[in-house]
Structure 1
Amino acid sequence: MENKNFDVIIAGGSYAGLSAGMSLGRSLRNVLIIDNGKPCNRQTPYSHNFVTHDGKTPGEIAQLAKKDVEKYDTVHFYNGTVVNTQKTTEGFEVKISSGEQFSTKKLIIASGVKDMMPEIPGFAECWGISILHCPYCHGYEVKNEVTGILSNGDMAYEFSKLIFNLTKKLTILTNGKAAFTGEQTEKLNQNKITVNEDEIDKIHHENGSIRKIVFKNGKEISLQALYAKIPFEQNINVSADLGCELTEQGFIKVDAMQKTNVPGVFACGDNVTMMRSVANAVAQGNFAGAVVNKELSDEEF
């Protein structure tokens, strides 16, 4: 790529990044979107809860979005991974895995997060297919089915309220000793939600569809769906590289304008919120792009 200098570089070209790119492209900004084509939902068969695209595959939605953004000739694309970002006197320097470097006045981090899979055989193969992270994205499709929640303590208790609305055939798998308060245990019992403390050995599945959970003590249970809250990490180490502040949960901390604590650095999408949905990512990206354009316009006027 001949041009090395941009008004805005967007790290991440999925829903949030593409939405930000469209907003900026329509404002005639010279933009570079860097993406490696490996979104965290690439295993998910269908995406839901996004009007006009409900039930399409995540890849299909992303492909349509990119086709829309490609119409704006000031928006450019680079297939690669951002490995380092540094502040400069003029803005920011972005280094790619290929060794190439680009400079930019403003930086939008839309690179998402990396899910850290537990060491349970079968879990990774089912992630996004029958092991689910979001009842709003996938809960309707498994309503009234025999369902599990892999979690413990306050997180499991609060999550169970949402899932109980979708199915009454519910078991919480704590994968070890339960950590509920007496009041929480009483409430779970009242709603006939089973708590299973057995340690999980493996998950039997067929092409990602759960058939049964096998425990280390030899017991088994059959499930059609399993919700799980698992750890994650940022795809780009913005904390170390740029000094971006993270929340207690590990998300990039942003204000109401999608601004980080570092002037000129914005963030949007899965890396800033636990509400991981296509619709939310698109909305945040669109707004972030508009705010960045406003900031550039103010500086140039």
Structure 2
Amino acid sequence: MEKQKTFDVIIVGGSYAGLSAAMALGRSLKKTLVIDSGQPCNRQTPHSHNFLTQDGKTPAEISLIAKQQVEKYETVTFYDGLALSGQKTTDGFSISTQVNDTFHGKKLIFAAGIKDEIPAIPGFMDCWGISVIHCPYCHGYEHRNKKTGIFADGEKAFHLASLVSNLTPHLTLFTNGSSNFSPEQKNRLKKNNIQINESKLVAIEYRKGYLQQVVFENGAKMRLEAMYASIPFQQQTAIPESLGCSLTEQGFLSVDPFQQTTVEGIYACGDNSSRMRSVANSVSTGNVAGAMVNMELTNEMF
């Protein structure tokens, strides 16, 4: 049977945000296509937390339940593959995939998330999402009272330190070179017994993704059980930018309170447009995006 090519809405990204948007649209009988490559950024994370009713489940478990529930809505179609490009058309947009399939939609929702730029430090990627972590709300409780590091500098490190210091008294900042703190920040860190280590990290020793020690350029080692890291990222897909969507100074897609980007007819939700990088926030913003797109489509037809 020939694939359906035209939809009311195309969603690029089928994890928490994309599935949440798809559910809102499916329940409103909108013909919706979800394009997903099956590579969520939290695929190494052993358990997901701080999401009511699903606390402690693996990310894959939550996604599977979500997809099974969305699949019940007959107007939602799933496509396994990678979206590579997008075009503006006379009546909406087109999205083309890696195998040259092209689909058309009146509206677009981007929910593909972001891609972390992992430092070229041996062991870093192997521990990412397991014991080298990004968020005290998502992972902090499980690493409470452990010997903990923060791999960051300046304002980002100071902000993380203030949050993590509530979870463990064993905290060291690793700035990976000369630190960049104001005198006031240094005083507050010292007051809270938070150490600053400016040595270069050259390796992470670990066992099955769980950090054991960090290794410095001079050969010294330090025992560590967990490390928060604030690292650069880029958008998982460049399609929104190619269609004219603006980014914020931090690199997120710029959206209004209703998840609409700076281009009419294009919405974004989840990690790609929010500093609050959590499953709960992805589900919330996806629900808003789906509802707003449905309202826009309804108003155009009514």
Instruction: Give the TM-score band, short-chain normalised.
Output: over 0.9
Structure 1 equivalent of residue 270 of structure 2: 269
Q: Please give the alpha-carbon distance, in whole angstroms, between the structure 2 residues aligned to 1:287 and 1:237.
A: 23
Q: Please give the alpha-carbon distance, in whole angstroms, between the structure 1 residues aligned to 2:116 and 2:229.
A: 11
Structure 2 equivalent of residue 184 of structure 1: 185
The Cα shift of 1:85 comes to 1.0
Structure 2 equivalent of residue 246 of structure 1: 247
Give SS of 1:185's match: helix
Q: How does 1:46-65 map to 2 (within 5 A)?
A: 46-65=47-66
Structure 1 equivalent of residue 213 of structure 2: 212
Q: Deviations over 1:75-124 (max 9, x none)?
A: 00000111001111110010111111000000000010111100100000
Give SS of 2:213's match: strand
Greater shift, 80-89 or 66-75, is seen at 80-89
Structure 1 equivalent of residue 97 of structure 2: 96
Question: Contact (CA 8 Å) 2:84, 2:239: kept in 1 or not?
Answer: no
Structure 2 equivalent of residue 33 of structure 1: 34
Q: Deviations over 1:230-276 (max 9, x none)?
A: 11111111354101000000000000110001000000000001111
The Cα shift of 1:159 comes to 1.2
The Cα shift of 1:146 comes to 0.6
Q: Which amino acid aligns with 1:38?
A: Q
Q: How does 1:121-160 map to 2 (within 5 A)?
A: 121-160=122-161
Question: Contact (CA 8 Å) 2:110, 2:240: kept in 1 or not?
Answer: no
Structure 1 equivalent of residue 76 of structure 2: 75
Question: Contact (CA 8 Å) 1:33, 1:77: kept in 2 or not?
Answer: yes
Q: Which amino acid aligns with 2:10?
A: I
Q: Please give the alpha-carbon distance, in whole angstroms, between the structure 1 residues aligned to 2:65 and 2:23.
A: 12
Q: Please give the alpha-carbon distance, in whole angstroms, between the structure 1 residues aligned to 2:245 and 2:190.
A: 43
Q: What is the aligned-residue identity percentage?
A: 54
Q: Deviations over 1:111-145 (max 9, x none)?
A: 10111100100000000000010100110001111
Q: Please give the alpha-carbon distance, in whole angstroms, between the structure 2 residues aligned to 1:166 and 1:205.
A: 22
Structure 2 equivalent of residue 231 of structure 1: 232
The Cα shift of 1:218 comes to 1.2
Structure 2 equivalent of residue 2 of structure 1: 3
Q: Which amino acid aligns with 1:12?
A: G
Structure 2 equivalent of residue 171 of structure 1: 172
Structure 1 equivalent of residue 121 of structure 2: 120
Give SS of 2:227's match: strand
Give SS of 2:234's match: strand
Q: TM-score, normalised by structure 1?
A: 0.99
Give SS of 2:181's match: coil
Return 5+ residue gaps in structure 2 as ranges: none
Structure 2 equivalent of residue 162 of structure 1: 163
Structure 2 equivalent of residue 292 of structure 1: 293
Give SS of 2:251's match: coil
Aligned residue-pair number: 301
Question: Contact (CA 8 Å) 1:239, 1:246: kept in 2 or not?
Answer: no
Q: Please give the alpha-carbon distance, in whole angstroms, between the structure 1 residues aligned to 2:241 and 2:26.
A: 30
Q: Please give the alpha-carbon distance, in whole angstroms, between the structure 1 residues aligned to 2:193 and 2:147.
A: 13
Q: Please give the alpha-carbon distance, in whole angstroms, between the structure 1 residues aligned to 2:52 and 2:193.
A: 35
- Runs of 4+ residues over 2 Å off in structure 1: none
Q: TM-score, normalised by structure 2?
A: 0.99
The Cα shift of 1:162 comes to 0.4
Q: Please give the alpha-carbon distance, in whole angstroms, between the structure 1 residues aligned to 2:253 and 2:47.
A: 27
The Cα shift of 1:20 comes to 0.3
Q: Which amino acid aligns with 1:141?
A: E
The Cα shift of 1:208 comes to 0.6
Return 5+ residue gaps in structure 1 as ranges: none
